[in-house]
Amino acid sequence: RTRRPGSPYETVGGIRFLPRTIDKMRAHVSGTAGDYRVHVGASRRIFRLFGISSGTFEEIVKANQTDEEILAALMALKNLTPADRDRFNNSLYMRFACWLLRNDCDPS
């Protein structure tokens, strides 16, 4: 592995965790993922956000060079509104906050 995936707080198109998921998929495709997994956890939430499978996401990543091109391909499948993005980002924030606090809170 040559580098760690991006921070979960980075965004592309205002979507938190998308750059990290892209980085993890690129590493998976190139065989350099190491201990990082792209088919589980918050990455799956990205797939659900766009209504796609991890396999479809993998094909999109393979077919596009930049994060912005990947975002454009994803948005062609499901054009998210700013409210959709905000709702998604807030749900990730709440999920991570619950995990960090080790609380029994409901992050939904």
Which of 34-38, 63-67, 90-94 has the highest average model confidence (pLDDT)?
63-67
> Looking at the domain assignment, is residue 88 inside a domain?
no
Identify whether the C-beta of residue 60 lies closer than 8 Å to the C-beta of residue 73: yes
Number of domains in the chain: 1
> Looking at the domain assignment, is residue 96 inside a domain?
no
Q: Which long-range contacts (CB under 8 A, 24 or more apart) does 34-42 make?
A: 34/1, 36/1, 36/4, 36/5, 42/8, 42/17, 42/92, 42/95
Does residue 51 carry a pLDDT above 90?
Answer: yes
What Å distances lie between residue 61 and 27, 34, 48, CA to CA? 11, 18, 16
| pTM, 2 dp | 0.83
Does residue 66 carry a pLDDT above 60?
Answer: yes
pLDDT at residue 1, as a whole number: 44
Identify whether the C-beta of residue 17 lies closer than 8 Å to the C-beta of residue 45: yes
> Structural domain of residue 30, as residue ranges?
11-81
